[in-house]
Chain A
Amino acid sequence: MANAGNEVAFKKETVSKLLTRSFKEDKTKVSSDAVILVAELLKVFVEEATRRAVKQADSEDCDTIDIEHFEKILPQLLLDF
C-alpha cells in the first residue's frame, strides 16, 4: 500500500493551465519538462503537508488528522517551501 502514492500525480494539463493563469506576461511559456517538474514539486508539497500534519496528530495522540493539526504545521511548511 505504501507504493500507492506513486501512482497518483497531478495531470500535466492541469499544472500547465495553473501556471499559465498565474503568469503576469502573456508571452511567458512553460516547457513540457518544467511542467512535469512543477507537478512533482506540488506532489511533494502535498505529501510533506500531509505527513507533517500526521506527525502533529501523532504528537497529540489523535487518530484523526484534524484541520487544527494542519494549521499548526502550516507556517513552517510555507517557510520551508
Chain B
Amino acid sequence: MDEDEAQKQRLKAAVHYTVGRLCQDIAADCEKQITKQTIAAIAETAFRQCDIFAKDLEAFASEKHCTLSIPSQYNYIQQKSEELALNNQELKEKRKKNAAKRKSKDMEAEEENELED
C-alpha cells in the first residue's frame, strides 16, 4: 500500500507542477495574481477529474462492440426509418381507400333506402 500511496503523491506533485505553470501563465495573461492555495485547489480538482475521465473511458470502452459500429448502426437506422416511412405511407393510402369505399357504400345504401322509400 505504501508504494501505491507514494506513487499517488508523486503523480499529484507532477499534476500540481503543470497546473501551477498553467495557472501562473493565465493569471499573468489576465494581469492578476493567483494564490498558492487556489492553485493547489485547482490541481486537486484536476487530479480527481482525471479519475472520473478514466472511469468514464473504461465504461465506454467496454461498450466497444456498440460504439465501433456506429456508422453501420446509423445506416441501419436510416434504412429502417425509410422502410417505416414507406409503411406509413402505404397505411395512409389504405386508410384513404377504405374511407373512400365506406363513403361510397354509405352513399349506395342511402340511395337504396331512398329507392325503397
- The contact string, 1 if C-beta is below 8 Å from chain B, for chain A 1-42, is 110110011110011011111111100101000100010011
> Knowing A2-B29, A46-B46, A63-B33 touch, does A17 contact B23 (C-beta < 8 A)?
no
Interface pair A50/B42, CB less than 8 Å apart:
yes
Set A14, A30, A64, A74: member contacting B45, Cβ < 8 A: A74
Q: Do most interface residues of chain B lie in helix, strand or loop, or is the interface mixed?
A: helix
CA A72 to CA B30, docked complex, whole Å: 19
Interface of B toward A, CB cutoff 8 Å: 7-8, 11, 14-15, 18-19, 21-23, 25-30, 32-35, 37-38, 41-42, 45-47, 49-51, 53-55, 57-58, 61
Query: Closest CB of chain B to A18's CB: distance in Å?
Result: 5
Question: Which residues 27-81 of A have a CB within 8 angstroms of B?
Answer: 28, 30, 34, 38, 41-43, 45-47, 49-51, 53-54, 57, 63-67, 69-71, 74, 78, 81
Q: Which residues of B contact A18 (CB under 8 A)?
A: 11, 15, 47, 50-51, 54
CA A67 to CA B37, docked complex, whole Å: 6
Query: Closest CB of chain B to A68's CB: distance in Å?
Result: 9
Interface pair B29/A46, CB less than 8 Å apart:
no
Q: Which residues of B contact A67 (CB under 8 A)?
A: 35, 37-38, 41
Interface pair A50/B15, CB less than 8 Å apart:
no
Interface pair B22/A46, CB less than 8 Å apart:
yes
Interface pair A38/B32, CB less than 8 Å apart:
no
Interface pair A50/B46, CB less than 8 Å apart:
no
CA A14 to CA B9, docked complex, whole Å: 12
Set A2, A11, A42, A78: member contacting B50, Cβ < 8 A: A42
Q: Which residues of B contact A14 (CB under 8 A)?
A: 11, 14-15, 18
Q: Which residues of A contact B33 (CB under 8 A)?
A: 63-65
